[in-house]
Amino acid sequence: MIQLLVSSFYNTLIDEEDAIPTSTMLAFDRIRKNTKIAILTNRLEEEVLYYNRDYPFIDYIVSLNGGILYDVEKATHHSFATFTKEEVEEIESLFPKNKVKVLSEDSIYKIEVSLEKRKQKLPKIKNYQVSILERNKEFFLEIGKNTPYEAIKKIMEINSLQPDNVLAIIGNDSEIPIAEHIKNCYGIENASKKLKKLTKKTTSNLEKGVEKVIEKEMK
């Protein structure tokens, strides 16, 4: 039985107008009685909470590529590994010609480097989680110390769930570790080839891919 639905936010749940279709919201509402809903975001939780303001449907938000887990009902945070000031400075030194953005709440959980294109020559970065994020036709090198799966494991622990109780729908390379651990995992059509090789398939975020998985798996 599916007791936790995990959905990526960017490139997956929201469409090209940064909206969640009304029919998708109704699909969430239909399953909420028996299913927790966790939303994954590559950036800050506030961007996701905006969508929860008028029509609450979210139980957990995993932000900054797994850096922070937020329990919406309890308004509590669980934090994971962070960067030191020295580590940030070392990474910044590798990209003297790129715009480097540090993403943080109380501490630094993620670093984004603006790229001209998805595939370009990059310096070797060891001992970190590294992925590419495409957002509004812009590309960013993501550097972090966590993966979203670590936060999902924490949610499973809190709710006494097993991997078979989880359904995941993802669309960004930073979320690939979820596909490596959750068997019932779908990749959105507009995701990278690397991600889609590890997942079941659904349509793009422009064709209500999340909603179609809910209708298929949670009748």
| Distance of alpha carbon 112 from alpha carbon 28, whole angstroms | 31
Residue with tokens 């936010």: 9
**Is it the case that residue 118 has pLDDT exceeding 80?**
no
**Is it the case that residue 117 has pLDDT exceeding 90?**
no
Left, alpha or beta for 193 (phi > 0: left; psi -120 to 50: alpha)?
Answer: alpha
pLDDT at residue 75 in the model: 97
Question: Taking all residues of the chain, what is their mean pLDDT, rounded to a whole number?
Answer: 95
Q: Which long-range contacts (CB under 8 A, 24 or more apart) does 102-106 make?
A: 103/43, 103/44, 103/64, 105/44, 105/63, 105/64, 105/67, 105/68, 105/77, 105/79, 106/79
Provide the pLDDT confidence category of residue 124 given band limits of 50, 70 and 90. confident
**Length of the chain in residues, anyone?**
219
**Is it the case that residue 179 has pLDDT exceeding 80?**
yes
pLDDT at residue 137 in the model: 85
**Is it the case that residue 210 has pLDDT exceeding 90?**
yes
**Is it the case that residue 59 has pLDDT exceeding 80?**
yes
In DSSP terms, which residues pair with 140 in a beta bridge? 114, 133
pLDDT at residue 120 in the model: 74
